[in-house]
Structure 1
Amino acid sequence: MAGNMSTSAAPLTSSLAKLQSLHGLFAVYKKPGPTSADVLNALKEALLKEAGVENSNPRKRKKQMLKMGHGGTLDSAASGVLVVGVGNGTKMLSTMLTGSKKYVAVAELGKATDTLDATGSVVLEKGFEHITRSDVEEKLRSFTGDIMQVPPLYSALKTQGQRLSVLLKQGHKVEAKPARPVKVYGLTLQDFQPPLFTLDIECGGGFYVRSLVDDLGKALSSCAHVKELTRTKQGPFTLQEHALHQHQWTLEHIRRSLQPCSDGDHLDQQRST
């Protein structure tokens, strides 16, 4: 009987050992809706299930079995590249927070919301008929380069250990964080079909597309909010080439796409040329 137990346990031990031997970075696709933490947890569930670990295990135990983290929160309504660190790769995630990112944002003129995106309540409506394509392109120049930006109230930023977004949803009064320096490498108007317009954005760490669109709306003597947001690149990982979709959340797919970490290993986080 002991021999049978040992034999049946062997595949589990082998699969889990292979999973725990992974060290590095890879990217997954986050669809609109779930939080970045939800995506990470679903990814862990899928991998541990493949390794034969029961789904009923407490989350804490799963965390001990599989060390994993993500390199920068995407808003729940946003989609696109979410960089994941596994094993010792979690130590490399800080480079993702400061590295270059690219976004495509569809924004709507004439309406401002409390969250600065389509998930919130409309708090202001203003006319936008006076705004032309050239007006938008001209204003975009002032938002390029090294600029100061006030982060949104509804964000993952914390005050006294609590996320601002959570405090607001609980009915607490929250003060805006002070303006901080951010870098915008590139800002292009891709499409202009009022009230909608589409921006291509390349920025550094700590930048909020929602704040940009809100500020842009004000600069145009109107208001605006983000309707759709997609992160198309983070560091060296692009949406088209690297992001694994949910059906690809397997040990084999991750092993193939993993950028391993080792002593002296350095991923280029500078702006691509």
Structure 2
Amino acid sequence: MAAEKASRLLSLSGLFPVYKPRGPTSAQLLSDLKMRLLREAGLKEQTKKRKQTLKIGHGGTLDCTASGVLVVGIGDGTKMLGVMLTGTKKYTAVGELGKATDTLDASGAVTEEKPYDHITREDLEDVVKTFIGDIMQVPPLFSALKQDGKRLSCLLREGAEVAPKPARSVVVYKLTVTDFQPPLFTLDVECGGGFYVRSLVSDIGKALSSCASVKDLIRTKQGPFTLDEHALREDGWDIAAVTRSLKEYAHLLPAGQGAKRLKSGENEAPLV
């Protein structure tokens, strides 16, 4: 039975979505998933990365304070993760007016507080409209972006000096206000790759002559995978469930792009 499970696990290839709760980093969650699958198959992980027992990676980091759908690549499916990194995503974000933090979300230290009682829902909706389309955005200092080969967030926590990244072009396809109960407001966001919701909320606060930070963030869709319909929960992390997920959702992937990446190995995401 163990040999059969090992053979089945090592033959798996493709993309499937999982649910990431608040708390663990995307890398921690991926490592937990990998270890659970290896244990079930009776396999041990190789210590050398180039000779991994099981290739597994994810297509787009979620902050540890965020939850939602995280797309995982397994086997040769890791070479298809570029589709997820550059594809569209949807989020539900709760912002808090009047409070800025160094991380741009509730996990950070408060760096500034400003009045917000002058802001109406109409003001918020008018400002939000200016962030739709092709916009320039400065990534947060606390992020997975790298400087000298190390993540900016890690460097900052080590006390190192970090140079801000320059503003870059990003795309917002849809952006709507779904609730406004000051100081809290809720946004539905559909955006392209490389977009930071934390930067968006911070910029909205500044445009309203106040400040703002993210209180809660959920990724509800990544590429063709939605949180409610597709994401595999932790209690379903086993070889049989992953196999079913790979087969059931294979038709959602862009076949031409996926086949091309499987063949060429382009846009392969980092593995765990």
Normalised by the length of structure 1, the TM-score is: 0.89
Runs of at least 5 residues in structure 2 that lack an aligned partner in the other structure: 259-272
Residues in 1 aligned to 2:141 and 2:87: alpha-carbon distance in whole angstroms:
23
Cα separation, 2, equivalents of 1:155 and 1:131: 29
Aligned equivalents of 1:91, 1:210: Cα separation in 2: 28
Residue in structure 1 matched with residue 34 of structure 2 by the alignment: 44
Amino acid at match of 1:157: L
Q: Following superposition, which runs of at least 4 residues in structure 1 exceed 2 angstroms of deviation?
A: 57-63, 259-267
CA distance in 2, matches of 1:29, 1:190: 23
Q: CA deviation at 1:206?
A: 0.2
Aligned to 2:138: 150
Partner of 1:173: 161
Match of 2:71 among 70, 83, 94: 83
CA distance in structure 1 between the partners assigned to 2:74 and 2:236 by the alignment = 16
- Code of the aligned partner of 1:19: L
Quote how far apart the aligned CAs of 1:264 are: 5.4
Matches of 1:243 and 1:63 in 2, distance apart? 29
**Between 58-67 and 185-194, the greater mean CA deviation after superposition:** 58-67
State the partner residue of 1:251: 239
Percent of aligned pairs sharing the same letter: 63
Residue in 1 aligned with 2:181? Answer: 193
* Aligned residue number for residue 31 of structure 1: 21
- Deviation sequence 1:61-88 (CA, Å, 0-9, x none): 8971111000000001000000000001
RMSD: 1.9
Aligned to 1:14: 4
Residue type at the aligned position of 2:41 = A
| 1:232 Cα deviation from its structure 2 partner | 0.3
Shift of 1:265: 4.2
1:237 corresponds to which of 225, 246, 249 = 225
Tell me which residue corresponds to 1:271: none
Amino acid at match of 2:204: L
Q: TM-score, normalised by structure 2?
A: 0.90
Counterparts of 1:73 and 1:228, CA distance in 2: 16
Deviation at 1:235, TM superposition (A): 0.2
Give 1:153 deviation, angstroms: 0.3
Q: Structure 2: which amino acid aligns with 1:35? A: T
Determine if contact 1:89/1:260 at 8 Å carries over to the other structure: no
Instruction: Give 1:23 deviation, angstroms.
Output: 0.6
Q: Which amino acid aligns with 2:31?
A: N
Q: Hey, what's the Cα distance between the residues in 1 that align with 2:88 and 2:128? A: 19
Q: Is the 8 A contact 1:151 1:179 kept in 2?
A: yes
CA distance 1:59–1:241, shift in 2 (3 Å): farther
1:115 to 103, 106, 109: 103
Match of 1:181, as an amino acid? S
- Summarize the Cα distance change of 1:63–1:152 in structure 2 as closer, same or farther, 3 Å threshold: farther
What is the CA distance between 1:52 and its match in structure 2? 2.0
Letter in 2 for 1:53: L
Q: Give the conservation status (yes or no) of the 8 Å contact 1:108–1:196.
A: yes
